[in-house]
Amino acid sequence: MRFLNVLILLAAMVLFASDGVCGGINVTNTSVGTRDASTGTAPINFDISWSNSWRSTDPGAPAPNNWDAAWVFVKFRKNGGNWAHASLTDTGHTVPSGASLDLGLVDTSTSFNISTNPGVGVFIYRSTDGVGTFSKTGFSLNWKYTQDGVGVNDTIDIRVFAIEMLYVPTGAFFAGDNATSTASFRQGSSDNDPWYIGSESAITTGAQAGSGTGVGETNSEYRYVTTSQETEDITGAVFTIPAEFPKGYQKFYMMKGEISQSQWVAFFNTLTTTQKSTRDITSSGALGKNTDNLTNRNNVSWTSGDATLPDQGGGATYASVAMNYISWADVSAYLDWAGLRPMSELEFEKAGRGPYRAVSGEYAWGSTSITGATGVSNAGLPNEAPSAAANCVFGNSAGVLGPMRVGAMAYGDATRIASGAGYYGAMDLCGNVFERTVSVGRSEGRAFNGAKHGNGVLTSGGDADVTTWPNGGGAPAIGFRGGAWQQSWSLGRLSDRSNASQRLWNRHQERGGRGVRSAP
């Protein structure tokens, strides 16, 4: 079956409307089945649906071997205590006809072990080609409840979460845009050809002049260009990016959109009081939003108990708007809690460009054409959209004083350029809020191991605890890609690295986040 480009893109046009728990995905009829004392397992049952789903394995399609999926994970609490993450077995799951299910491990480089490397979630997606609403009943996940300290007679509450993801298949790509954007990757001092990423093998950079002759040059020549940040490697520095660092060649899943305010609130409301105090963006000492009022289109409010998104009139809760005012520590905590991981700056470019040769100065939608939003229709509602045709939120566009709804540019029968979509369907890679990525320009970033994922558990203080991630308040390994709503159009270019090694760890009105996961 051959899909037209418009159909693939319609599939990426996700409303991201939310009920405060599972983004644009509806998870219903959740229950825990009978606990089997002999095996220590119990089924977690649910139905799931979401609109604008797709799968295309047709080699003639614009994005072949590509699909969207739901990353599904479970939180539970026993006897009214604190919320915890459910450990899933590697067998015994029930999958209805027409659906596929893949288990996601904490460490994808080694085999399943219920004690040391359990399933932390599953990917659910179409088993055959198709486009439209995905709706299936009768899923059950096999929970090893005894592993999580639960007894047969304990009272259990569960919450089943789901995040919309998209699959980026294994394949070569180009990183850099012919030395057009600031500090973009290039092959040599006199060779503007982009880096060619043809495997996940280690990459060693050099100070060579370069020998390539064209934007499709596939020589194994890698010259680093500095963004002149403190302690960043200099232009022409010689260093090695290890094989374990995720370079984007190997298959992975990426969140379709940036973390939304409803997703953040759902995460926040499973934390302990102490953890909430750490992750609170609204208090006067939070170095962030510092208010419970609607500010720069952020509507999160919290003083005690559960955080809320107050109705600002007519049902406008801003639930689907991208979450801003979050620091690197906030983002990494969310990703650890969800069983995801940070993305590298190379994965960021792969998701936008796909396998195509680089276009000088291009944005994530494969073109140099950019139209900023000049106003907002249906502000704060699930169908929020730009008031006039636009494919990006950037440059403090007239009256748009904050990020917009995740995926808001994808409305009507829009093409990839008109909707601002990346090659595989990711929305808002350019503009809206800054995307945090792991930089190759610092030794701390190059130590990042893409096989290590969140285990669903945070420290008692509310921080991520994955030792191979770039942690700590200064987060020297983390930078920014893609620009943001207040920034110049040039920072939104796909290969622009002006802030790729910028050590800005704190909360800010233009900073958000998005997660990825190495594919099973």
End-to-end CA distance of the chain: 25
Which residue in the block uniquely carries the two structure tokens 């991630």? Answer: 469
Distance CA 109, CA 224 (A): 28
Q: How confident is the model at residue 213 (pLDDT cuts 50, 70, 90)?
A: confident
Which residue in the block uniquely carries the two structure tokens 């520590």? Answer: 329
Q: How confident is the model at residue 288 (pLDDT cuts 50, 70, 90)?
A: confident
> From the DSSP assignment, how many helices (H) and strands (E) are in the chain?
7, 19
pLDDT confidence of residue 255: 98
pLDDT in tens, 476-487: 789 999 999 999
Contact 67, 165 (CB under 8 A): no
C-alpha dist (Å) from residue 244 to 164, 199, 241, 514: 26, 12, 8, 21
pLDDT confidence of residue 33: 97
pLDDT confidence of residue 397: 57
**Helical axes 261-268 vs 328-338, angle rounded to 10°:** 70
116-136: b (≥16 Cβ within 10 Å) or e? ebbbbbbbbbbeeebbeebeb
DSSP 89: P
From 2-16, 317-331, 376-390, the region with the lowest mean pLDDT: 2-16
Contact 384, 400 (CB under 8 A): no
Q: Is the pLDDT at 136 greater than 50, yes or no?
A: yes
Rounded average pLDDT over 160-176: 97
pLDDT confidence of residue 338: 98
pLDDT confidence of residue 396: 63
Contact 509, 298 (CB under 8 A): yes
Q: Is the pLDDT at 8 greater than 70, yes or no?
A: no
Which residue in the block uniquely carries the two structure tokens 């394995």? Answer: 57
Structure tokens at 188: 């040599």
Q: How confident is the model at residue 12 (pLDDT cuts 50, 70, 90)?
A: very low
Structure tokens at 341: 């991981």
Mean pLDDT score of the chain: 91
Q: Which residue, among 171, 258, 236, has the nearest Cα to 511 in the 3D structure?
A: 258
Structure tokens at 86: 């459910």
pLDDT in tens, 248-278: 999 999 999 999 999 999 999 999 999 999 9
Q: How confident is the model at residue 305 (pLDDT cuts 50, 70, 90)?
A: very high
Structure tokens at 352: 């936008």
Contact 185, 179 (CB under 8 A): no
In degrees to the nearest 10, what's the CA dihedral of 28, 29, 34, 40?
Answer: 0
pLDDT confidence of residue 475: 63
pLDDT in tens, 411-455: 655 789 999 999 999 999 999 999 999 999 999 999 999 999 999
Contact 345, 437 (CB under 8 A): yes
Q: What number of other Cβ atoms are within 10 A of residue 219's Cβ? A: 16
pLDDT in tens, 433-444: 999 999 999 999
Q: How confident is the model at residue 354 (pLDDT cuts 50, 70, 90)?
A: very high
From 179-188, 199-208, 215-224, the region with the lowest mean pLDDT: 215-224
Distance CA 11, CA 51 (A): 8
Q: How confident is the model at residue 11 (pLDDT cuts 50, 70, 90)?
A: very low
Rounded average pLDDT over 198-215: 92
Distance CA 441, CA 207 (A): 14
11 sits in which H/E element: helix 5-12
Contact 389, 371 (CB under 8 A): yes
pLDDT in tens, 378-390: 999 999 999 999 9
Structure tokens at 91: 């067998």
**What is the DSSP annotation of 284-335?**
TTSSS--SSS-BTTB--B-SSSS-B----STT---TTBBP-S--HHHHHHHH
Contact 349, 495 (CB under 8 A): yes
**What is the DSSP annotation of 160-181?**
EEEEEEEEE-S--EEES-TT-S
416 sits in which H/E element: helix 416-419
- Indicate the pTM of the whole model: 0.94
Rounded CA Rg of the chain: 22
Q: Is the pLDDT at 498 greater than 60, yes or no?
A: yes
Q: Phi and psi for 517 in degrees, rounded to 5?
A: -155, 135
